Amino acid sequence: MKFAVIDTETTGLYTSDRVVEIAIVMLDEGGQVLDEWDTLLHPGRDVGPVDIHGVSATMVSAAPTFEDVRWAIAERLHGAVLVAHNLTFDQRMLDSEFDRSEGGWEPGSGVCTLQNVGGKLANACAQLGITIEHEHRALSDARATAQLFAQTVLRSDLHVRSAQVDPSQKKSPRTVRREAFPDRPQGITPQESIARWTTGIDHRRYPRDELGYIDLLDRALDDLWISADEMVELGTLAQLAGIAPSRLPELHELYVGDLYAAAIRDHVINDDEFRQLDAVSQVLGFNLSELYPDFEQYRPAAVQVAQTPQGARVAFTGTAIDPRTGQKLDRSELGAICRSRGYEPQDALKKSSTDLLVASDPNSNSGKAKKARQWGIPVISVEEFVLEMS
């Protein structure tokens, strides 16, 4: 028996997403490494969250497509038992890629180390002294998963079935490995807190058949934002995992509570952390202050409008009503007010350049207002903007 330990880095989590990097570590029945293979892949679309997986458009510009290397993947997976940390996710991504390339495969019945160890890869490896050289790099994660599998699962009574893959026409593969590119500097991002909190959650308290979905939820929140379409997709993925729609609210409430518990472990919640927690709970359908009243004590102080500096860049959302006349203000009028006071109006909310968002309702759950709060951009009402900034 041989095992194929796989890891994929992807443009996202959903049906339209693609694989941008794949690694396969082959093991013999004793857990010894037989072969390692990895490559970047051109996804035929944007590469997704570069700040998470570190794969840029430049890096994949000369990379092969999945179809280009399909036979190389097939010859490794054929006759091998698949192993992955959240096997359901990696298997689903490969399902989609094989379908697009019109190459048949039957994944068999493999081993999910996430379900077997009951925790995130980084946590499980740390407990066993396994080093992950670079998280979110396919080969590093596959190597770590292979060691985790060899130490915790391999000697169990495995009920598995090997994959069957049609290798199709064999041709010389052209691979582009990540090592060909210099390391990207790891800057400080607003997502640091969420990543730290999800690592601090004891995933073992969740039923094993729900762990795959919780892992996807962790990944979906890497950018602190889940759109309405993504929520629909997550619901679909939950159903594929056998989780009933009626179970999701309870599961999401448990997850939000775990995030909050992880956040207050150090007894400090700063303004950015408050906004992140508040945004995540709202996305999942909860008011964290109602679930945990103590949370409210950490709410940031109100924006001091008068302290907004000259040259500040201002965006708008919602229907603006002039509090002095009761008449609607169109965007040209709002822009004129901005310029008259030394501010720069913006047509769109931008994470890197917007300094202030003016909303018809500052407590709005509109897309712009949510994003502003998640990015730490102050949100004020039209009334404050028109009257207090006069």
pLDDT tens digit string along 61-97?
889 999 999 999 999 999 999 999 999 999 999 999 9
Q: Report residue 108's pLDDT band, with 50, 70 and 90 as the boundaries.
A: very high
Token digits of residue 313: 């860049």
pLDDT on residue 348: 87
CA distances, 149 to each of 10, 161, 288, 341 (Å): 22, 16, 37, 63
Q: Report residue 301's pLDDT band, with 50, 70 and 90 as the boundaries.
A: low
Residue 202 backbone dihedrals phi, psi, to 5 degrees: -85, 95
Q: Which of 5-9, 53-57, 168-172, 383-387 has the lowest mean pLDDT?
A: 168-172
pLDDT at residue 12 tops 80: yes
On whether the CB atoms of residues 19 and 40 are closer than 8 A, the answer is: no
Q: What value does the mean pLDDT take over residues 1-15?
A: 94
Same fold, 3-180 and 305-388: no
Instruction: Express each pLDDT in 362-382 by its tens digit.
Output: 665 566 777 887 787 888 888
Report the C-alpha gap between 217 and 220 in whole angstroms: 5
Model's pTM, two decimal places? 0.75
pLDDT at residue 318 tops 60: yes
The CATH number assigned to the domain with range 305-388 reads 3.40.50.10190
Instruction: Express each pLDDT in 221-252 by its tens digit.
Output: 876 667 777 888 899 999 988 999 999 999 99
On whether the CB atoms of residues 61 and 42 are closer than 8 A, the answer is: yes
Q: How high does pLDDT run on average in the chain?
A: 86
pLDDT on residue 34: 96
Q: What value does the mean pLDDT take over residues 331-353?
A: 88
Q: How many Å is the Cα radius of gyration of the chain? A: 24
Q: Report residue 188's pLDDT band, with 50, 70 and 90 as the boundaries.
A: very low
* Beta strands per DSSP E along 181-326: 313-317, 320-321
Report the C-alpha gap between 195 and 347 in whole angstroms: 32
Domain boundaries along the sequence of the chain: 3-180, 192-298, 305-388
- Classified as helix, coil or strand, 3 is strand
Token digits of residue 389: 């900034």
- CATH class of the structural domain 3-180: alpha beta
pLDDT at residue 260 tops 80: yes
Q: What value does the mean pLDDT take over residues 13-28?
A: 94
Best-predicted range by mean pLDDT among 33-37, 197-201, 270-274? 33-37
Helices 208-220 & 248-263 angle (0-180, nearest 10)? 60
CA atoms within 13 A on the CB side of 363: 2
Residue 167 backbone dihedrals phi, psi, to 5 degrees: -75, -15
Q: Is the dihedral of CA 56, 61, 66, 69 positive or negative?
A: negative
